[in-house]
């Protein structure tokens, strides 16, 4: 079945089709083009997608959206970015799917994936979601444009690092359910304080469809602020969390030997017991939000519980593997994709719960924290000590404050970059160790993870 025909694309974008064609997918990255895809030739300051048209069609593209001359099957428009948004709007208009929008300072991508798994579990193929972390001004419309018309559910992640960004994205997504996972210091270089971050995240509620539901973290210090932001737009507000006052709450949790957590949750007068496969109380909180959202769209809660028990870690966001070390192995926890103070503390607590010969942390600097960066980094010293970490590799110049705070408390080394971090880790890594690797994506710790997975020393 086709996702779009050339005539549908032309109608949606007010463009002109050069030929009849049909596509089964959409992308704006020529390296990701597969057979049957629509390639959207975006233009920007850094690059021009029209330069990669031949490459895209060599990889199997069935058509393109262009604003310049093109020798291949295409729809020509005045502005390709505007056309991508128009296609997203058309995708949203033609579907009867229940739509969930997810934002938050931490846990967006993991929660989006958990929601997808929970909604797709009863009927594989019924749910659609944004892939990777496609949550910005290009990723959100791309994810919408990829949604099949016959989907029953759509789950879309929305991110921001400036006020006003979510206000636009949520009008594209038009969610029936809008969820905020948590509010924490992230991108603080662009906000005066954490309350301003909460306000920016609260913009998601403005896009709610009539009769929509807002899902809000009860345990957040900004709960009332988020509720106030939701009230003008939501027909129903549901809170989730570990506190007894939450609408969806955990009434019992028990950590299992596998690292998973057995949870009994209460949703109003109902109770559901399930196993949360991913370790850590932050994941229990995320799971409660997932259940609230599944319930809000009329999904199957029992099947959602099964899906949460089967959920694996995402690459760069909690994936685990055993790395070869000498004649044995060491556990690696891959959190290399992103980092902020809240997620650092949560994952250090997870490391602290691991039964291992030694606990080692490779921590990359947290970026975009503004004037408070030194204090945020230094404040990680206590969580490191409390987690029983024996060795720490600190990566990047912003880690200088944490190095000073750790002096005399934990063995550590402070290095300039990911390459030096790899060298330092290899000198101390031993069989039976558990290693947490976490930092902002720009630090490049994913390369260290890849080398450990490949067993290269």
| pLDDT higher than threshold 80 for residue 97 | yes
Confirm or deny that 245 is annotated as ligand binding: no
Mean pLDDT of 188-200: 86
Q: Which fold has domain 95-310?
A: 3.40.1190
Mean pLDDT of 143-153: 97
Q: Return the structure tokens found at 30.
A: 């020529």
| 393 within 8 A of 361, measured Cβ to Cβ | yes
Mean pLDDT of 377-388: 97
| pLDDT higher than threshold 90 for residue 314 | no
Q: Which CATH superfamily is domain 319-454 in?
A: Mur ligase, C-terminal domain (3.90.190.20)
Is the model more confident about 354 or about 257? 354
Domain regions of the chain by residue span:
4-80, 95-310, 319-454
pLDDT band at residue 235 using 50, 70 and 90 as cut-offs: very high
Measured between alpha carbons, how far is 159 from 138 in angstroms, rounded to an integer? 11
Confirm or deny that 104 is annotated as ligand binding: yes
| pLDDT higher than threshold 70 for residue 456 | no
DSSP-based helix, strand, coil % in the chain, nearest 5: 40, 25, 35
pLDDT in tens, 100-118: 999 998 889 999 999 999 9
Distances (CA, A) of 81 to 41, 69, 142, 148: 8, 16, 10, 20
8, exposed or middle or buried, with CB in 10 Å at 0-12, 13-18, 19+? Answer: buried
Cβ-count burial 396-431 (b if 16+ within 10 Å, e if not): bebbebbbebbeeebebbbbeebeebbebbeeebee
Measured between alpha carbons, how far is 292 from 236 in angstroms, rounded to an integer? 12
Residue 77's pLDDT is 98
| pLDDT higher than threshold 80 for residue 125 | yes
Angle between helices 281-296 and 301-310 (to 10 degrees): 150
pTM, full prediction = 0.88
| pLDDT higher than threshold 60 for residue 316 | yes
Measured between alpha carbons, how far is 182 from 20 in angstroms, rounded to an integer? 46
| 197 within 8 A of 187, measured Cβ to Cβ | yes
Mean pLDDT of 127-153: 94
pLDDT band at residue 185 using 50, 70 and 90 as cut-offs: confident
Mean pLDDT of 73-96: 98
Are domains 95-310 and 319-454 of this chain identical in fold? no
Residue 184's pLDDT is 83
Mean pLDDT of 136-160: 96
Distances (CA, A) of 37 to 40, 58, 70, 76, 280: 10, 11, 16, 16, 39
pLDDT in tens, 420-431: 999 999 999 999
Measured between alpha carbons, how far is 145 from 68 in angstroms, rounded to an integer? 21
3-state secondary structure of 345: helix
3-state secondary structure of 49: helix
Architecture of the domain made up of 4-80: 3-Layer(aba) Sandwich (3.40)
For residue 87, the 8-state DSSP code is H
Residue 196's pLDDT is 93
Confirm or deny that 109 is annotated as ligand binding: yes
Q: What angle do CA 389, 393, 396 make, to 5 degrees?
A: 135
Q: What percent of the chain has pLDDT above 70?
A: 99
| pLDDT higher than threshold 90 for residue 132 | no
Confirm or deny that 2 is annotated as ligand binding: no
Angle between helices 80-94 and 165-173 (to 10 degrees): 50
pLDDT band at residue 36 using 50, 70 and 90 as cut-offs: very high
Confirm or deny that 336 is annotated as ligand binding: no
Measured between alpha carbons, how far is 200 from 203 in angstroms, rounded to an integer? 5
Measured between alpha carbons, how far is 343 from 231 in angstroms, rounded to an integer? 28
Residue of 218, 223, 211, 220 whose CA lies nearest to 175: 211
Confirm or deny that 106 is annotated as ligand binding: yes
| pLDDT higher than threshold 80 for residue 173 | yes
């Amino acid at each position: 079945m086709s996702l779009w025909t050339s005539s549908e694309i032309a109608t949606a974008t007010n463009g002109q089709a050069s030929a009849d064609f049909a596509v089964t997918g959409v992308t704006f990255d020529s390296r990701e083009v597969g057979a049957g895809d629509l390639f959207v030739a975006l233009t920007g300051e850094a690059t021009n997608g029209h330069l990669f048209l031949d490459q895209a069609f060599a990889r199997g593209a069935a058509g393109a959206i262009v604003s310049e001359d093109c020798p291949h099957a295409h729809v020509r428009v005045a502005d390709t970015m505007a056309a991508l948004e128009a296609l997203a709007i058309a995708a949203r208009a033609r579907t009867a799917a229940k739509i969930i929008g997810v934002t938050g300072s931490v846990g967006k991508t993991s929660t989006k994936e958990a929601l997808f798994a929970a909604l797709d579990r009863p009927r594989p193929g019924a749910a659609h979601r944004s892939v990777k972390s496609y949550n910005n001004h290009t990723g959100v419309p791309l994810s919408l444009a990829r949604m099949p018309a016959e989907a029953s559910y759509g789950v879309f992640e929305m991110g921001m690092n400036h006020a006003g960004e979510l206000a636009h994205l949520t009008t594209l997504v038009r969610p029936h359910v809008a969820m905020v996972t948590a509010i924490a210091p992230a991108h603080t270089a662009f906000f005066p304080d954490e309350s301003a971050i909460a306000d920016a995240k609260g913009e998601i509620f403005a896009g709610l469809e009539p009769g929509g539901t807002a899902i809000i973290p009860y345990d957040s210090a900004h709960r009332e602020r988020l509720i106030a932001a939701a009230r003008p737009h939501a027909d129903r507000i549901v809170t989730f969390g570990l506190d007894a006052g939450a609408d969806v709450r955990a009434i019992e949790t028990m950590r299992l030997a596998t690292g998973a957590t057995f949870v009994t949750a209460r949703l109003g007068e109902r109770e559901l017991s399930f196993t949360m496969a991913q370790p850590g109380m932050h994941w229990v909180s995320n799971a409660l939000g997932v259940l609230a959202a599944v319930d809000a769209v009329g999904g199957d809660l029992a099947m959602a519980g099964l899906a949460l028990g089967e959920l694996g870690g995402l690459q760069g966001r909690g994936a685990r593997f055993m790395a070869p070390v000498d004649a044995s192995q060491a556990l690696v926890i891959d959190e290399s994709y992103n980092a902020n103070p809240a997620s650092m503390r949560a994952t250090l607590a997870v490391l602290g719960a691991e039964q291992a010969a030694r606990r080692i942390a490779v921590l990359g600097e947290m970026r975009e924290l503004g004037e408070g960066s030194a204090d945020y980094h230094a404040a990680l010293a206590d969580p490191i000590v409390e987690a029983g970490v024996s060795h720490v590799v600190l990566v990047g110049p912003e880690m200088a404050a944490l190095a000073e705070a750790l002096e005399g408390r934990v063995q550590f080394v402070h290095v300039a970059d990911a390459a030096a971090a790899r060298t330092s880790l290899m000198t101390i890594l031993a069989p039976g160790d558990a290693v947490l690797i976490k930092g902002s994506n720009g630090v490049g710790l994913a390369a260290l993870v890849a080398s450990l997975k490949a067993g290269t020393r």
